[in-house]
Each structure stands twice: as C-alpha cells, then as structure tokens.
Amino acid sequence: MSRSAATKMSSLFLRQLRPLFFSTSITKTSGIPRPASVGSLRIPMLQLRNWSNLAEEEKRVQLPAASAAAAPVSDGQDEKRVVSYWGIVPRKLTKEDGSAWRWNCFRPWETYKADLSIDIEKHHKPVTLMDKFAFWTVQSLKYPTHLFFQKRHMCHAMLLETVAAVPGMVGGMLLHCKSLRRFEHSGGWIKALLEEAENERMHLMTFVEVAKPQWYERALVFAVQGVFFNAYFVAYLASPKLAHRIVGYLEEEAVRSYSDFLADLDKGNVENVAAPAIAIDYWRLPPDSTLRDVVMVIRADEAHHRDLNHFASDIQCQGHELREAPAPLEYH
C-alpha cells in the first residue's frame, strides 16, 4: 500500500470514529432520546456519565409494539405516541353514543349538568370586623380590574379563572399537610377544595378554546399568580376562616362579572359563538349550545363556589374545625 493511500484510509477511519467517541449530541429512536454513539462499537470515552442508563434505554426501545399502541387518547391536539416501559395501558373510554372519549383532562364520570336553579343574588352581609376586612379587600381589587378590562369580558374571564383556580389548590394542599401532621381525617374538605380548583381550571380551559390570550395577558397572569399564590398561602396559614371568606366574596364578584358578560351577549356586544366541544362534554350541554349557555353554567358554578367558601368560613367562625362538618363533595 502506498503512503498516500495509507494516509487517506487512516483519515477516513478517524472521521468514522469521531462521532462515536466525542459526540455529545442526542438522537431520537422510536421516540426515546438516545446518545448518538450507541451502536455496535461501544466504549464512548466522553459518555461514562450516561453509562448506567444505557441498558435501560436499550430495553425501552425494544418494547413490543403493543406498548406503543397503548398510547393514551390525546386531547385532540397532539397525536405523538408515547412508548412506555411500565406497561401502563390507559382505559379506552367512550361517550354514551359509543364514540371515543377525546379528553384526558377529565373523564365521563366527572362530567355533570350544572344546577342553574341556584340563587345568583345571594350575598353574605359583612358583619364582623373579619368579614368587613374580607369584603373590602375584594372590593379594592375589583375596581382596578374592571378599569383594566372594561368590556373585554373574555379576557376578564380568562384572568379571573387563572386566579380563581388557586385558592382551592392552596387550601386543599394545606389541609392535606394538616391531616398528615395531626394524623386525622379531613372530613372530605381536601377533596372538596381540590374539586373546586379543578372546576375553575376547566372554566379556564373552556375560555382558552374561545379566545387565545395575547403575550401581555400571559405575562400579567404570570405576575398575578406569583403574588396571589403566595399571599393566599400566607393568609390561609394565618386564618383559614378569613381566607375562605375572601374567596366567598371573590366568587360573589365572579357571579356579577358573568352576569355583565351575559348582559352584553344579549345586547349583541359580544358575539354569541358556538360552544367549544370541551364545554359541551364537560357540562353535558346539547350539541348546538352557544357561548351564552357556557357562561350560564359557569356562573352557576361560581355561585356554588361562593356558597362552599362562605360555608367553610361560617363553620370556623362558629368555633368548629372544617373536618367536623362533612364537606359538600361534587358541589359545583
């Protein structure tokens, strides 16, 4: 072999080896990220930190097709399949008419018909100092919010829901920790508050289908959530009865905001578009429902949250603990 041929062969050989030994890039195979150098020639010098999970990665890739086929039904947006090593096979769900259930975020047994007969006008009269403090805290938050959104009901509703979904989660989490610390039952209140948070989040998921938030609205939500989550967390730690009273008054304002929304829908100031599919399934609405029908059921939900939170505050104002009164589960 001539000298130039030997040089060419050795440079070709080195070019082949370079990605195997020195590359840190990641490639995708069957949906599982894998180191680029995993192949038939294997002692990658720079990938020793990945060594422990290489075998695991190989096993996952070699799963039978049945696991891949068991990918969950998506929310109708992302059809990417997930390969599971763990053999978790989600249940195949259907609607009453036999068609496939398309939502992962809630299941058929979590859907309900809203109770529209609830009293919309009900109001807790602030009598004690604590009530008055809670009432005026909410009133002082209400005016700048109305000034900011004015007649932009959809944006107002979206921001309101991002805030409204926080107290239930914070209260539920703190009651959960309290139950663990004290080795005692919660009376169902953990679940009731988490249900409320989930219900509020479904309101948000519904509005997101009708109106897409702008970047500055997302930024506003980011800032408001940071402040509100922490403020409510501290308030609930300090005085759960005050925290529930504040939420009771917030819900009263939510009912009023949705009444204004309905008034503008009736006047034609807001277009009464078709109800999104997620709302039709969640509230078991007729297929030809409109935005007005959706706002009606959401307002009814808010009225239920109002009652639940004032009730939670009343229990504690009367000198009892929440767990002593059975929680109104599935009350929304």
Catalog residues that contact Fe ion under the rule CB under 5 A.
Answer: 161, 164, 200, 203, 251, 302, 305
Separation between Cα atoms, residue 34 and residue 42, nearest integer Å: 13
CA angle 116, 306, 284 (to 5 degrees): 35
Name the β-bridge partners of 34: 27
CB of 299 to Fe ion, least distance (A): 9
74 or 259: CB nearest Fe ion = 259
The answer to whether the Cα torsion of 173, 175, 177, 179 is positive or negative is negative
- Residue pair 82/72 in contact (Cβ under 8 Å)? The answer is yes
Least distance in angstroms from the C-beta of 309 to Fe ion: 9
With respect to Fe ion, which residue has the nearer C-beta, 44 or 248? 248
CB of residue 141 to Fe ion, shortest distance in Å: 15
Rounded distance, CA 325 to CA 311, Å?
A: 10
Quick one: 131 or 200, whose CB is closer to Fe ion?
Answer: 200
Q: Is 141 helix (H, G, I), strand (E, B) or coil?
A: helix
Residue 122: how many other CB atoms lie within 10 Å: 12
DSSP string spanning 286-320?
Answer: -TT-BHHHHHHHHHHHHHHHHHHHHHHHHHHHTT-
In the bound complex, what is the minimum distance in angstroms from residue 128's beta carbon to Fe ion? 23
Residue closest to Fe ion (Cβ)? 305
109 φψ region: left (φ > 0), alpha (ψ -120 to 50), beta (else):
alpha
Closer to Fe ion at the Cβ: 174 or 300?
300
CB of 70 to Fe ion, least distance (A): 34
Q: How far is the CB of 301 from Fe ion (least distance, A)?
A: 6
* Identity of the residue, 203 or 245, whose beta carbon is nearer to Fe ion in the bound complex: 203
Nearest to Fe ion of 203, 241 (CB atom): 203
